[in-house]
Amino acid sequence: MSTRLEKEPGQATAAEAGPPLLELRDLHVYYGAIEALKGVSLSVGQGEVVALLGANGAGKSTTLKAASGMIGPRSGQVLLHGERVDGIASHELVQFGIGHVPEGRRVFARMTVLENLKIGAYRLRRPDPADLDRVFTLFPRLADRRKQVSGTLSGGEQQMLAIGRALMGKPELLLLDEPSMGLAPLIVQQIFEILREINSQGTTLLLVEQNASQALQLAHRGYVLETGSVVMSDAADTLLSDPRVRAAYLGEAIE
Amino acid sequence: MSLSDIWDVLVLGVVLGSLYAVIAIGYTLVYGVLQLLNFAHSEVFMAGGFGGVIALTIFEPTADPSGIQSVVYILLGITAGAALGGFVAFGLEKAAYLPLRRRNAPRLVFLITAIGASFFLYNLAGKLFGRYPIPMPSMYENRRLFTVFGAPVSVTQFLIVVVGVLMLVTVDFVVNRTKLGSGIRAVAQDPEVASLMGVNIDRVVSRTFVLGGLMGGAAGFLFGTNLQVDYTMGFLPGITAFSAAVLGGIGNVRGAMLGGLTLGIVESFTVEIWGDAWRYVGGFAALVLVLMLRPTGILGERVGRAA
Ligand SMILES: Nc1ncnc2c1ncn2[C@@H]1O[C@H](COP(=O)(O)OP(=O)(O)OP(=O)(O)O)[C@@H](O)[C@H]1O
Ligand SMILES: [Mg+2]
């Protein structure tokens, strides 16, 4: 895992012919009669940070939910290390090393910070005390508030807790749904720094964001979703300088 | 009422209240994980009473048991009661509620199913065991054991309180300190996120029913040791314990304990002051009064939080 990090992750996966860590193939997902994903395909290589951009309602959260088993696709495939995992329930899929930080944080509001983190390690037979230290090193603010009831944390602290809780399950792949939502620029900056750190420690990230500029600066590659379909996919730098992306997500007029 | 009368009545109330508390836990735990008012829990309690009677009838206590024999009979009765209670609760969840959860049935359907399951179970018991009360085989001489500030405490009363407190301490420990407990609390707060943490919701729900069923079943046996068991025995204690759970704050484990104790004591004083005909009036009046002042119960409705 760590040796691959030395290379440029995006190219590493392309060069080694092995299957990517996560691959979605032609996913069609429905909510009742509404088709939320209309054939989404994407892949995330080991060690990569991949950004998933798109307007409200484009299907970003749905894509993550399909990857973590929260919702089953009507057709298409979800593959982890080349093995099909669609149809496996989310509580079993976490055993494959998937962590999902859901949209809106969703910490257990009536539990303390420490209780939340401990539940994050629920899937592990013997939780490693070092994991708690690692989370507290990444998020010193959580260490100070370990006995605080989570519902009383600030939005930024709750986001840190949601990420920390997912890390406690030792995920190989971390799915993040809008970690910067509703946070002040300084906190957003901090969160992205920490995500970079988490990635450099060997965790692969699939990152859903409205904050396209931050996300693309962190990511190696990115995908753009529009009403349930992938409309662009490229290296992060290329997307960052693409006029359509700049117009749609960075609020610039098209020249 | 003299002071010593007050003590006598209080002791009776605490005994009754610890039974209500134990039963109330079953309602509150299930409400916590499913937001379901499991009205069939009163029949789990009834099943426990029969479980104890059946086991003791099979083992036939000797007429004049020694101390050790008495203890063995009591443990046998508790175990059998808890086992049958746990089994009925397990089966109830699998047969009645799981299919509804699979289909995402609306809340009202669960409630009606609960009431239907309750009718089914107690009529089944009436069919199986007859409509007449069955006396509990005598396991010990129910003599006065000691007095508390002059109030006499019998063996049965002592037994109920000790076993009740042990069960309450155990369930509090399970909910707050074990892995099953953290699963229960996580499912109570956010089932979807709980499953993202690796919590198997179906398993947690099933075990929650069994936990409540073990306690309710043991309580049924203890209740029966007073005299007898019959197929309708679950109804009034069940509905009182349900009220106790609401009184303490439904979903809240310690609230259920407090609510149970409160209703037991209120009931005991009501009977003493106004007579047995008013037995259940005092408790329900207290419930209405508390809910008017504090709609979420004494400790507050706190699903997934044990304290
Ligand atoms: N539980 C649901 N029931 C019905 N429709 C849903 C449900 N969840 C999402 N949808 C619909 O599916 C589509 C995609 O939703 P999704 O949440 O994936 O979008 P998103 O890209 O994450 O949007 P946002 O940026 O607002 O979070 C939307 O049209 C939405 O209305
Ligand atoms: Mg979303």
- Are residues B198 and A122, on separate chains, in Cβ contact within 8 Å? yes
Query: Is CATH 1.10.3470 the classification given to domain B3-305?
Result: yes
How high is the pLDDT of residue A215?
95
How high is the pLDDT of residue A253?
59
How high is the pLDDT of residue A149?
96
* Residues B284-303 pLDDT 10s: 888 888 888 888 888 876 65
Q: Which phi-psi region, left, alpha or beta, contains residue A227 (left: φ > 0; alpha: ψ -120 to 50)?
A: left
Q: How far apart are CA B147 and CA B228, in angstroms?
A: 25
Question: Region B28-57: what's the mean pLDDT?
Answer: 94
pLDDT category of residue B139 using cuts at 50, 70 and 90: confident
Half-sphere exposure of B84 (CA within 13 A, CB side): 25
Residue B306 has pLDDT above 60, yes or no: no
Residues of chain B in contact with residue A95, where contact means CB-CB under 8 angstroms, are 198
Residue B16 has pLDDT above 70, yes or no: yes
How high is the pLDDT of residue A255?
52
Q: How far apart are CA B108 and CA A91, in angstroms?
A: 28
pLDDT category of residue B124 using cuts at 50, 70 and 90: very high
Residues of chain A in contact with residue B252, where contact means CB-CB under 8 angstroms, are none
Nearest to B198 among A94, A111, A115 (CB): A94
What element of type H or E holds B160? Answer: helix B155-177
Residue B54 has pLDDT above 70, yes or no: yes
Residue B145 has pLDDT above 50, yes or no: yes
Output the residue whose Cα is nearest ligand 1's atom 14. A59
Residue B305 has pLDDT above 60, yes or no: no
- Ligand 1 pocket residue status of A211, Cβ below 6 Å: no
Locate the domains of chain B by residue range.
3-305
- Are residues B190 and A106, on separate chains, in Cβ contact within 8 Å? yes
Round the average pLDDT of chain B to a whole number and report it: 91
Q: What DSSP line would sit under B99-130, residue for residue?
A: HHHHTT--HHHHHHHHHHHHHHHHHHHHHHH-
Residues of chain B in contact with residue A92, where contact means CB-CB under 8 angstroms, are 200
Question: Does residue A94 belong to the interface with chain B, where contact is any CB pair within 8 Å?
Answer: yes
Burial degree of B265 (CB within 10 A; 0-12, 13-18, 19+): buried
Residues of A numbered 113-172 whose beta carbons fall under 8 angstroms of chain B's beta carbons: which are they? 115, 118-120, 122-123, 165, 169
How high is the pLDDT of residue A12?
45
How high is the pLDDT of residue A11?
46
Among candidate residues B305, B290, B304, B292, the one with its CA nearest the CA of residue B247: B290
- Are residues B197 and A119, on separate chains, in Cβ contact within 8 Å? yes
State which of A42, A61, A105 you would mutate to test the pocket of ligand 1, scoring each by most atoms of that ligand within 8 A of its C-beta: A61
How high is the pLDDT of residue A252?
64
- Ligand 1 pocket residue status of A60, Cβ below 6 Å: yes
- Ligand 1 pocket residue status of A122, Cβ below 6 Å: no
* Residues A33-68 pLDDT 10s: 999 999 999 999 999 999 999 999 999 999 999 999
Query: Is the Cβ–Cβ distance between B245 and B28 less than 8 Å?
Result: yes
- Ligand 1 pocket residue status of A65, Cβ below 6 Å: no
Residues 6+ away with beta carbon under 8 Å from B83: B51, B214, B217
Residues of chain B in contact with residue A123, where contact means CB-CB under 8 angstroms, are 197-198
Question: Region B140-157: what's the mean pLDDT?
Answer: 85
* Residues B272-283 pLDDT 10s: 999 999 988 888
Question: Region B216-235: what's the mean pLDDT?
Answer: 93
- Are residues A94 and B302, on separate chains, in Cβ contact within 8 Å? no
Q: How far does the centroid of ligand 1 lie from the alpha carbon of residue B205, in Å?
A: 29
| pLDDT tens sequence for chain A (255 residues) | 343 344 354 444 444 567 899 999 999 999 999 999 999 999 999 999 999 999 999 999 999 999 999 999 999 999 999 999 999 999 999 999 999 999 999 999 999 999 999 999 999 999 999 999 999 999 999 999 999 999 999 999 999 999 999 999 999 999 999 999 989 999 999 999 999 999 999 999 999 998 899 999 999 999 999 999 999 999 999 999 999 888 887 766 555
Q: How far does the centroid of ligand 1 lie from the alpha carbon of residue A33, in Å?
A: 13
Q: Could you tell me the domains of chain A?
A: 17-97+171-249 (3.40.50.300), 106-168 (no CATH)
How high is the pLDDT of residue B30?
94
Q: How far does the centroid of ligand 2 lie from the alpha carbon of residue B38, in Å?
A: 35
Question: Tokens in use for A214?
Answer: 């931050």
Q: How far apart are CA B249 and CA B247, in angstroms?
A: 6
Among candidate residues A107, A119, A129, A106, the one with its CA nearest the CA of residue B184: A119
The count of CB pairs under 8 A between chains A and B is 64
Q: How far does the centroid of ligand 1 lie from the alpha carbon of residue A143, in Å?
A: 34
Count of other CB atoms within 10 angstroms of residue B236: 12
- Are residues A111 and B195, on separate chains, in Cβ contact within 8 Å? no
